[in-house]
Structure 1
Amino acid sequence: MSPLRQHVDTRLAPPTGLAAPARGPATSRGEAPVLVVGAGIGGLAAAVLLAAAGVPVQVLERAPQVGGKMRAPQVAGQAIDAGPTVFTMRWVFDELCEAAGTRLDHLLALEPCEVLARHAWPDGGQLDLLADPQAAVDAIARFAGPYEARRYQGFCERAQRISRTLEGPFLRGTRPTPLSLMWRAGWRGLPDMLRISPFGTLWQALGRHFHDPRLRQLFGRYATYCGSSPFLAPATLMLVAHVEREGVWRVRGGMHRVARALAALAQRHGAHLRCDTQVTRILVQDGRANGVELADGQRLAAQAVVFNGDASALSAGLLGDAVRPALPALPRARRSLSALTWCGVTPVQGFDLSRHTVFFSGDYRAEFDDLQGRRRLPVEPTVYVCAQDRGDGGSGDTTPVAERLLVLVNAPPAGDLAPGTPGHLSDEEIASCESRTFAHLARLGLRLQTPPANWLRTTPTDFERLFPGTGGALYGAASHGWRASFTRPSSACRMAGLVLAGGSTHPGPGVPMAALSGQLAAAQVLADRASTRSWHPVATSGGTSMR
């Protein structure tokens, strides 16, 4: 049973959408709220579930809008998704909405993708990875031959086994360890657990499945979904292939609508949301987190604090010295990748883009040697382009003359290094990578107006400013080695009253994983609340006098 179903009454109300919020259990008058610091997807999911359960909740967000990494900056007067661009694992949000007395279809308009992504290589090869299983097999047969198509089928079967093996004991588990994973699987599930190849790398496993190096490169890119190298990430990341085959959706109006919908749902259940509100310190009394201090000096009491920022910000002391011991520090070498991105509104010429298009480098290993070994921007990067005004069909779509594009290349997490420090990315290095990126696109047929005429560029330093304590790393710790999945912080940490959520915590990065972390955080708060019913901090007008 999931933590969500254990602790939240799913019979709160009929699924009538936002117009009829559910009534949770009555709360004590004057009871201090649960303070959720950060309105990313994890924090919003926690707020929805806690508010639906009748717990007083207040969400505090330093940015002017909700969403965290699910950003949509304005470029040339248009909103462009500058963070996550695909919606997967719909069941996570179906369950969340059910627990809050509504249905996902009442909150968002989702359109299934028929083309998961279009891929292009310097040798002129091009492949659409299709959502329909048989159509995908046929496309790969035309691209790489019938033997590779059969190998692809075997790869998908293995990805499905991995996904089914890990969903219950790992994704929904509160604090999985190798031993607990085996225990939760049970003796009947032990053979499947041993077959998921936890000790091999993704690149090694792909070499056993595919002979065509281009397919190995295509599916190796799944490691970058969690900011990692396919040469170091575990083979279990093959499960991403099954996740995508289960469904990838476009969100009508943009991915930022997901965050806005969850925020509205939380508010309908009584949660209070405050944007442009920076938390500078988490307050601790008698070894327990019991409030926060804001940038204006105001102090707010809390029965618990859910921190939905990057976990490394706590150990770095950015939320005060009192909570430093809550988590071990994340070494710089264990950070996930950052990115260098451009958001623009521009005419597109040459290449027939799909909504999601990947332009691969000619040497994947050299690219990751640059990123992971030399800690520099790649000489020849793989480039992801999200054409946000297109559907699946490319040229068959009706698109404006100037299209909204997100262009992204991977980058080392060096956003907190001072100029002159080894590894610092200078303006000259960034400008050189920019030139190489758009030249690479042109070589593969895509001609765009060269930045920076009407483009918004975001560097690892900018990501560090947006998400302090990360160095620009976008996914918490890198998933390198078989132990990595078991070392992410869980919802519970070393400090009472402090609960963690977000992509840097278990079960990992990505929109659905962050939502799962929010479910786990809500379950932790409710469990702690049930075990400490005699402890009720009381909110007072104008803040508190906590030291």
Structure 2
Amino acid sequence: MKKAEETQRSVVIGAGIAGLASAIRLVARGFHVDVYEANASPGGKMRQQFAQGYRFDMGPSIVTLPHLIDELFALHSKNPRDYFDYTLLEKPFKYFYEDGTVIQAYADTDRFSQEIANKTIDTPRRFRKYLKNIKRKYTITRPVFIERSIHRVKDILHHNVVLGLIRFSKIEAFKTMDRANRNHFKDPKLVKMFNNYATYVGANPFVAPATLNVIQHLEIGLGMYMPDRGIYSIVEALHRLAVEIGVTFHFNQKVDEILVENRKANGVIVQGRSIRYDTVVSNMDVYLTYKYLLPKVAGPKHVLSQPKSSSVIAFFWGMNRCFDDLNVHNLLFTEDQKEEFRSIYSDHKISKDPSLYLYISSKVVPSDAPVGKENWFVLITAPNNQGQDWKAMVAEARTTAIAKLSRMLGMPIETHIKYEDHIDPVSIEADLFSAFGSVYGNSSNSMFAAFLRHANFSRKVKNLYFVGGSAHPGAGIPMCLNSAKIMDQVLKQR
């Protein structure tokens, strides 16, 4: 551990995964760290719920690049396996289509390519060519902006960025995801499959740049993992580590304002008390940080005025039986994907035939459900909150989801639901402090969206930093972890 001659004090606002990672990194740099969290427990969007013998992960459910978690333990000479463990999912996804086709994805890309050849009109050669294409995108973008700041002059002049600019045409920023996928595949089923990855960042594949096809490489090329005790065990492990290394957590304590004097952040106001700190890190939604915590600081209009991403309606169902034909991760596709996204982004409603994502952690973590039963997390992509009648939309979404699941799985589903709860854009906005109930911060539908996220530091206020899904480099577990890593790099260099 690196010790400063005189210990400095840092405050992290929000105990989401990026806030936890930031606290752990700041301690390694010699800071005394306090974390203030408005809710009663850590995790932010990575929450869990217990009910009637079921446990539900209520937020992100897909883990890639687990080394980004492990390295936080290595910073403090700890063995991450003493805190949590994970396994590679050999069968990461099962895809269901309305015509009865079922495609099983495999971690072994040779098996996956053969499955594609057996179930579609495309060939293993086309699939391997596609994998090569998305791997190249990742190779180009990773050192340019996935793992480093892009908001300073010296960032732009870095040799990795210069090399990336030379190879810019290879990332297909001027094509949409849909167009690029259609160029690669003949079978609409595969186009639909790979278009769906846009939802991982709340984007529309018919508008968003094909650069985002890099997402597929994280899952297919590098592997999809499952923590042995569920997704929330990541939060528990990081929180335990943070406490052990001296981080102080203040739960149920909402920060009211960030103190700024002479264009320098020097503390926070919590429950009427002014508390001084040398460094302030906000893991709160960037838009809401400026709106509520920085009332006297003008935020960057070109960032804050960007359209927000989509949201979700998610149902948590305790099922009274097991379904052997389902995987941990399942996707039931819409018949008309273009109409689905048009409804979300143009009509600001859910289509009459939405795709459904079904996550069942009890397939891997048996204790997540009573014996002989399963915990279902059924997710539908939804527009963000613009004042719609969400009570009616949730009721309609539930009816639609049950009908679609019953039809495509060939059995009545509703009679097997013995417990249920849900979240929607209104509750996400209220409980998780996400602007407009958006799950992924600013929209990624522009070809320049990656460059229009807020930097991991403030240009106007010294010693103020930003991490999390609404800041650079974006949403999702690995990107949030990278936001903390980039913040740490910038802090070291300032």
* TM-score, scaled relative to structure 1: 0.84
Whether contact under 8 Å (2:20, 2:242) holds in the other structure is: yes
Q: Find out whether 1:408 has 2:379 as its counterpart.
A: yes
Structure 1 partner of 2:148: 173
1:357 is aligned, of 330, 338, 344, to: 330
Task: After superposition, give the CA deviation of every residue in 1:507-529 in whole Å (9 maximum; x if it has no partner).
Answer: 1100011011011222333334x
Deviation at 1:367, TM superposition (A): 0.3
Q: CA RMSD in A?
A: 2.4
Residues 190/326 of structure 1: CA separation in 2 closer, same or farther (3 Å cut)? closer
Deviation at 1:189, TM superposition (A): 5.6
Residues 178/114 of structure 1: CA separation in 2 closer, same or farther (3 Å cut)? farther
Structure 2 residue ranges without an equivalent (≥5): none
Deviation at 1:49, TM superposition (A): 0.9
Deviation at 1:198, TM superposition (A): 1.4
CA distance in structure 1 between the aligned counterparts of 2:42 and 2:116, rounded to whole angstroms: 40
Q: Find out whether 1:267 has 2:243 as its counterpart.
A: yes
The 5 Å alignment of 1:250-399 reads 250-294=226-270, 296-315=271-290, 317-325=291-299, 330-331=304-305, 334-348=307-321, 352-391=325-364
Q: Find out whether 1:513 has 2:489 as its counterpart.
A: no
Structure 2 partner of 1:53: 29
Q: Find out whether 1:72 has 2:72 as its counterpart.
A: no
CA distance in structure 2 between the aligned counterparts of 1:172 and 1:460, rounded to whole angstroms: 30
Structure 2 partner of 1:525: 491
Deviation at 1:496, TM superposition (A): 1.6
Structure 2 partner of 1:21: none
Whether contact under 8 Å (2:442, 2:453) holds in the other structure is: yes
Deviation at 1:52, TM superposition (A): 1.6
Deviation at 1:102, TM superposition (A): 2.4
1:235 is aligned, of 205, 210, 223, to: 210
Whether contact under 8 Å (1:314, 1:323) holds in the other structure is: no
Whether contact under 8 Å (1:314, 1:327) holds in the other structure is: no
* TM-score, scaled relative to structure 2: 0.93
Secondary structure of the corresponding residue to residue 39 of structure 1: coil
Residues 330/359 of structure 1: CA separation in 2 closer, same or farther (3 Å cut)? same
Whether contact under 8 Å (1:413, 1:471) holds in the other structure is: yes
Deviation at 1:151, TM superposition (A): 1.1
2:445 is aligned, of 460, 480, 483, to: 480
1:119 is aligned, of 72, 95, 99, to: 95
Q: What is the aligned length?
A: 489
Structure 2 partner of 1:531: none
2:198 is aligned, of 223, 228, 236, to: 223
CA distance in structure 2 between the aligned counterparts of 1:349 and 1:102, rounded to whole angstroms: 38
Structure 1 partner of 2:80: 104
Structure 2 partner of 1:7: none
CA distance in structure 2 between the aligned counterparts of 1:287 and 1:176, rounded to whole angstroms: 19
Structure 2 partner of 1:459: 424
CA distance in structure 1 between the aligned counterparts of 2:27 and 2:103, rounded to whole angstroms: 46
Structure 2 partner of 1:468: 433
Secondary structure of the corresponding residue to residue 73 of structure 1: strand
The 5 Å alignment of 1:179-198 reads 184-185=159-160, 192-198=167-173
Whether contact under 8 Å (1:346, 1:404) holds in the other structure is: yes
CA distance in structure 2 between the aligned counterparts of 1:101 and 1:79, rounded to whole angstroms: 32
Task: After superposition, give the CA deviation of every residue in 1:92-142 in whole Å (9 maximum; x if it has no partner).
Answer: 223333223224333321111011210001111100111101111111111
Structure 1 partner of 2:394: 430
Secondary structure of the corresponding residue to residue 454 of structure 1: strand
CA distance in structure 2 between the aligned counterparts of 1:194 and 1:77, rounded to whole angstroms: 52
Fraction of identical pairs, as percent: 27
Secondary structure of the corresponding residue to residue 223 of structure 1: helix
Residues 285/500 of structure 1: CA separation in 2 closer, same or farther (3 Å cut)? same
**Paired amino acid for 2:320:** P
Secondary structure of the corresponding residue to residue 267 of structure 2: strand
CA distance in structure 2 between the aligned counterparts of 1:480 and 1:105, rounded to whole angstroms: 38
Deviation at 1:78, TM superposition (A): 3.1
Residues 178/324 of structure 1: CA separation in 2 closer, same or farther (3 Å cut)? closer
Task: After superposition, give the CA deviation of every residue in 1:335-391 in whole Å (9 maximum; x if it has no partner).
Answer: 111000011211347671100000111100010010011111221110001011114
CA distance in structure 1 between the aligned counterparts of 2:376 and 2:251, rounded to whole angstroms: 27
Deviation at 1:450, TM superposition (A): 5.9
Deviation at 1:314, TM superposition (A): 2.3
**Paired amino acid for 1:125:** T
2:182 is aligned, of 207, 215, 228, to: 207
Deviation at 1:48, TM superposition (A): 0.4
Whether contact under 8 Å (2:266, 2:278) holds in the other structure is: yes
CA distance in structure 2 between the aligned counterparts of 1:385 and 1:125, rounded to whole angstroms: 17
Residues 231/186 of structure 1: CA separation in 2 closer, same or farther (3 Å cut)? closer
Whether contact under 8 Å (1:280, 1:320) holds in the other structure is: no
Structure 1 residue ranges without an equivalent (≥5): 1-11, 13-23, 419-423, 529-547
CA distance in structure 2 between the aligned counterparts of 1:117 and 1:49, rounded to whole angstroms: 33
